[in-house]
Amino acid sequence: MELLRICAMLMIVAYHIYIHCITCQLTDLQSIQERGNGWFCTPNFSKRLCILALIAPWGQIGNAIFLIISGYFMSSKDVIDLTKISKKLLFQLGFAACVLGLVSIYTSITNITGLSIRVVPFSCFNSGSWYIGYYFFVIVLGKAFLNKILKGLSQKNYLMLLAALFALLQFTWSVSVISNLGGGLETLCTGVFLYSLGGYIKEYNPFEKIKLWGVIAVIIAMDVIVIGNFYLTTASNILNFNPEGEDTFVQSIPSYTNNQIIPLIIGIAMFELFRRIKMPNFKVLNFVGASTFMVYLIHDNELFYDIWNTQDWITLICKNVALFVQRYLIWILGTFGVGVLLYCLFIILEKVIIICKPLVIRK
């Protein structure tokens, strides 16, 4: 499961580089004009862009995986220590906000990059990382009543609850009603579904009879649909494009939301795939898995967007796909590595504070 956490976070980092930099360079006319990288501004379907189409749902897949893991381990618990979870989330959030603020000050004063890099104010403690509030809300619901409800259900009723939640999240009208009741409520319902599903998998192992190749086939089939969706979107854009007009043809990669069926199915299939991996316990792997929350906090902000944006991704994918993949992996792993190193620093700081605690607090 720690290996799955790491893979899910790598997918989220890859998605953020894609959505905040690569997509902007591909579709923003001002960026295209400034960089002179309008290589795909022709009404044609480009096979090279299928790579980007496959990356498009990775963020939502990673989000789904984290909630399924939480439900798998926490939905059957009688006691969930919200104090411990809150302290962990808030302390790491505060540490990340301070680091980003200090780095922004240093970058602004020294201008070491020679580029226009946006700064991140200390208020990012409250304004950044939306997923954390979403995740914590689902855990609070688990503590408040959801765990009790799930444990009181028979297998038949549990399955019926999951089927009903899934159906509500897939029908356009019901999703619109849920979202109109409150902003983001459809996302919260998605979290409840995934959390509950994790508990159901732990309790009843519903995919036990499905062979490994069947799980892999589901992932491949979903990826084929993703590429097909990209092809249909491009074909529609080509049909609507007027070549005699003055407008520039802009490629469009389909986007996905957390409640859509494709990221949900891929996330569930990936969870089942990793759940079947038998491997010994590695302390290093467990430590890196524990650092994923810090990785999330530290990278999803304007500072990192501008750093990633120093790379001309569109020219790279047009000229050399292999080099694009290589650079992309370097940026993903590098960003992940920065988060892990800062988590190490956080742990050290935490130990120092514990040692110094008697100097500040009376017995």
Cα–Cα distance for residue pair 4/294, rounded to 1 Å = 16
Pure H helices in 276-308: 283-290, 292-299, 302-308
Which pLDDT score, from 0 to 100, does residue 101 have?
A: 84
Give residue 121's pLDDT. 73
Closest Cα to residue 121, out of 97, 85, 95? Answer: 97
CA distance 85 to 148: 19
Which residues, at least 6 apart from 265, have a Cβ–Cβ distance to it below 8 Å? 218, 222
How many separate domains does the chain show? 1
Yes or no: say if 93 and 126 are a contact pair by the CB < 8 Å rule: no
Whole-number Å distance between alpha carbons of 346 and 97? 12
Rounded-to-integer distance, Cα 287 and Cα 289, Å? 5
Q: How far apart are CA 92 and CA 298, in angstroms?
A: 10
Structure tokens at 217: 């086939």
Q: Mean pLDDT, 10 residues at a time, over the chain (363 residues)?
A: 93 94 88 81 88 94 95 87 88 88 78 64 72 90 91 93 94 90 89 94 91 94 95 91 77 90 95 89 88 91 87 90 94 95 92 78 69
219: containing domain: 2-360
Whole-angstrom distance, CA of residue 38 vs CA of residue 30:
10
> Rounded to an integer, what distance in angstroms lies between the CA atom of residue 108 and that of residue 118?
8
- Between CA 310 and CA 140 the distance in angstroms is 40
Residue type, 21: C
Backbone dihedral angles phi then psi of residue 336, each to the nearest 5 degrees: -60, -40
- What pLDDT is attached to residue 71? 92
Q: How far apart are CA 79 and CA 17, in angstroms?
A: 38
How far apart are the C-alpha atoms of 310 and 338, rounded to whole Å? 18
Structure tokens at 324: 């694009």
The pLDDT value given to residue 114: 54
Collapse the DSSP code of 24 into the 3-class scheme (helix H, G, I; strand E, B; otherwise coil) and give the result. Answer: helix
